[in-house]
A and B are shown apart, each in its own frame.
Chain A
Amino acid sequence: NAGVTQTPKFQVLKTGQSMTLQCAQDMNHEYMSWYRQDPGMGLRLIHYSVGAGITDQGEVPNGYNVSRSTTEDFPLRLLSAAPSQTSVYFCASSTPRTKNIQYFGAGTRLSVL
């Protein structure tokens, strides 16, 4: 069972570069979310989606864009990377059919120099 798959696992960017973090789930979950986790901190919600074509902002959306063209995929785009975006990024999916228990990917560790 693949579950939630995130790519890449590691990435180093220079300030100002753009990139897309990929997230895919094979559980047919309606809901998907992106979180960031800074060292020694909890998870903060960036963006989330309740279904294909529907996205909304979380706690810390600035500097990030998302889209949800299919149920399976929920990419996160960094428009112009900044050192403050150095973090570990986690994608999660859930469904109301199991009371929204969230299933997380392994994470993408991003460093912006």
Chain B
Amino acid sequence: LAKTTQPISMDSYEGQEVNITCSHNNIATNDYITWYQQFPSQGPRFIIQGYKTKVTNEVASLFIPADRKSSTLSLPRVSLSDTAVYYCLVGDGYNQGGKLIFGQGTELSVKP
């Protein structure tokens, strides 16, 4: 399973765009990149998933360069409610079911 590296923490202010980068140098051909968000005392919840280039949904955008060795989660115009821990996971969407290893995640703190 590809190991991921992300910053331990980040600070931002309301209304700013936040970009969290995840490194995954050993990503395999069949691996997808998935981001989760976790609020205190809650289970993680899915934000966005991608394989290459750019993916956008109502919550975030995910940028993946051509070599796929990193990815960037972009949160537009953050608010206080975006304060959470964000996890980047890399894994095969088919053969590694259930065996997904979470790293430390990035603790995002949004200030007024």
Interface residues of A (CB under 8 A from B): 4, 30-33, 35, 41-45, 48-50, 56, 58-59, 88, 90, 92, 94-96, 99-107
Interface residues of B (CB under 8 A from A): 32, 34, 36, 41-46, 49, 85, 87, 91-105
Q: What 10 pairs across the A-B complex have the smallest Cβ distances?
A: A104-B43, A99-B93, A31-B97, A48-B98, A31-B98, A43-B102, A96-B94, A33-B98, A42-B104, A90-B43
Closest to B91 in A: A100
In the complex, A90→B42 CA distance in Å?
9
How many A-B pairs fall under 8 Å by CB?
A: 78
What would 29 A/B residue contacts be, using CB atoms closer than 8 Å? A33-B99, A33-B100, A42-B85, A42-B103, A42-B104, A43-B102, A44-B102, A48-B97, A48-B98, A48-B99, A49-B98, A50-B97, A90-B43, A92-B43, A94-B97, A96-B93, A96-B95, A96-B97, A99-B32, A99-B49, A100-B91, A100-B92, A100-B100, A101-B46, A101-B49, A102-B44, A106-B42, A106-B43, A107-B43
